[in-house]
Every structure is written in C-alpha cells, then in structure tokens.
C-alpha cells in the first residue's frame, strides 16, 4: 500500500491518529520537502516520534525519481508524508496516477492545511476564490500569470489566498548548468516582498485588479504557537516585518461581511483607517444598478 499522509501545519503531534497508525506499520517513509516545512518539528524529532527513519524527498526525487518511492509498494507499506494535506496547497496527483497505472493500492489520510486553516484570520472560507502562488522575482523573470486570477476573484467579490514562495534545496543557474550538486540556502518569501511584487505588477499592468489601498491580511506561522495576523493595505504591509516564516497573504474581495470586518479590525494598527479602506474598496467591481429596459412604443 502507498499511503499519502497529511502531517498538519506545525507540530509532530498534528498528525491524525489514523495517519500515525499507518506510519507505524510502514517499511519506508518519505517526507516531501520542497513545497512546505513543518515549522515546529525537525526531521530528527519526526524520526524519534515515529520510531523509524524518514527519507527527505526533494523535488527531483518526487518528480523524476518517484519510481524509487513506488518500489515494492505492492509488497510493502510505503508512506509519503506531506506537510498540511496531501491534496492541499500542492497536489500530488501525479504520484497517485503513477501508482494506479502500476496497479498499486493507494490510501490518502487527510489533515489540516493552509487551505482550510486560513479561516482562523476571520474570513469565511465560502467567500474565497482561486488561490494563487507568488514566486520570487529574478532580474529577468517576473511572472504575472496570477494577476488575472486575482482580477477574476475581485470582480465577483471573492477573497484571494496568496501562497508565498519557498526555496528549499534549490540550485543556482550556474551550478545547474555546470552539473554541480551545490544547493542554495533555504529562502522564504516575506509578506513585505510579496506586497512589493504585487504593487510592481499592478503598476505594470495598470488595470486596477487592486491598488496600493486595497485591504489585505498577513498570516504568519499559521497553526503554530507564534501564529500572527496583521490587517492593513498592500502599501502598508509592504513595510511590515512579519518575522519568521512561513507566511501567506489574503487580498480581500469586495464582499466583505460585517462579521469578517469586525474580526479583522483586531489585527489592524489603525482600526478606523482599515475600516475606511474596506468601505472604499467595496466600490471596486461593484455591479452597476439594475435599470429596467425602456418600454417599446406600440405605435
């Protein structure tokens, strides 16, 4: 059996009872280690908690060498561990499809992820639209395909969850070109950098999917003991120090319920200023009032 097991957001003990029971009987255990990190637990702590060795599975192993993960899964129990939920922020459908093509049995054990825990900032999950990912810009690569998705969400009044980039076990272009297995230090995008990139692309595109005054919510270390939220405008949070990773951001939609707003005000430096920013933002993409068609003249 191949088990895909969600670990939750932060602690070794965030795993479900069913997930832990599955791990206990597995012959090999892999920890996906490129889309997220378990903030309050090291590899050594996980191994001690499970009582078994855990192999880190980087992007190369999962995407190119997944046959090693699937090896003998028809005779042995193999666990593939994912921070959050196996099908949360990043799906692992390719691994499941490969297993099914080989006739291997697969069982998925779910857990909490940023996709549902984001509701703890006070915004209702029903009012979220498409989720987007913000990657690190480089000197010659500044992708903006996410912009249209934010525009579409905002047009119908929905909030947008923005997942911030992390770089774990990444090679520089030079080392990659030379075939040198030298990896860059881990990097985690900050709230301020995300907001700066949002503002840069809006200035370039100029169609006002959002503005510097658009209200947003910064989410830091979700699910950990140091979990923190900060409400403000994009411009304001472009200067915000959110502290240690991991971070994500929510861009508010036009349909911000009064209960959502009441919740968010507790996270604002200036409650009245943030309230006014939300009220002002309600006008964006506001549907035009309905006007009955003119009656046709019978003559």
Residue 63 burial (CB count, 10 A)? 12
- Taking the C-alpha atoms of residue 47 and residue 40, their distance in angstroms, rounded to an integer, is 14
Tell me if 85 is assigned to a ligand binding site. Answer: yes
- Say which residue the tokens 């830091």 belong to: 220
The answer to whether 113 is a known ligand-binding residue is: yes
Query: Is 10 annotated as a binding-site member?
Result: no
222 is annotated as contributing to ligand binding: yes
CA distance 185 to 224: 23
Residues whose CB falls within 8 Å of the CB of residue 98, separated by 6 or more in sequence, listed in order: 66, 67, 70
Chain-centre distance for alpha carbon 11 = 18
> Is 88 annotated in some ligand binding site?
yes
Nearest to 231 by CA among 281, 257, 196, 265: 265
164 is in an annotated binding site: yes
Report the binding-site residues: 9, 85, 88, 113-114, 164, 222, 247
Report the binding-site residues for S-adenosyl-L-methionine: 9, 85, 88, 113-114, 164, 222, 247
């Amino acid at each position: 059996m191949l088990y895909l097991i969600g670990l939750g957001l932060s602690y070794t003990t965030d795993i479900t009872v069913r997930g832990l029971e599955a791990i206990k009987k597995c012959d090999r255990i892999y920890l996906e280690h490129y889309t997220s990190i378990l903030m309050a637990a090291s590899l050594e702590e996980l191994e001690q908690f499970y009582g078994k060795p855990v192999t880190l599975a980087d992007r190369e192993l999962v995407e190119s060498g997944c046959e090693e993960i699937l090896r003998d899964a028809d005779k042995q129990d193999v666990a593939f561990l994912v921070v959050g939920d196996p099908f949360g922020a990043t799906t692992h459908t390719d691994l499941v499809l490969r297993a099914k093509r080989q006739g291997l049995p697969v069982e998925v054990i779910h857990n909490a992820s940023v996709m549902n825990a984001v509701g703890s900032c006070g915004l209702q999950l029903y009012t979220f639209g498409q989720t987007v990912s913000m990657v690190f810009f480089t000197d010659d690569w500044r992708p903006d395909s996410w912009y249209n998705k934010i525009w579409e969400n905002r047009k119908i009044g929905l909030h947008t969850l923005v997942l911030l980039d992390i770089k774990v076990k990444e090679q520089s272009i030079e080392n990659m070109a030379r075939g040198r297995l030298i990896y860059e230090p881990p990097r985690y995008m900050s709230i301020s950098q995300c907001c700066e990139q949002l503002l840069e692309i809006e200035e370039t595109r100029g169609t006002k999917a959002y503005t510097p005054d658009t209200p947003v919510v910064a989410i830091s270390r979700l699910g950990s003991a140091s979990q923190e939220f900060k409400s403000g405008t994009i411009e304001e949070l472009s200067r915000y120090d959110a502290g240690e990773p991991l971070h994500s951001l929510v861009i508010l939609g036009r349909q911000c319920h009064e209960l959502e707003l009441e919740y968010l005000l507790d996270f604002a430096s200036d409650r009245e200023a943030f309230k006014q920013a939300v009220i002002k933002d309600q006008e964006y993409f506001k549907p035009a009032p309905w006007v009955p068609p003119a009656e046709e003249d019978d003559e």
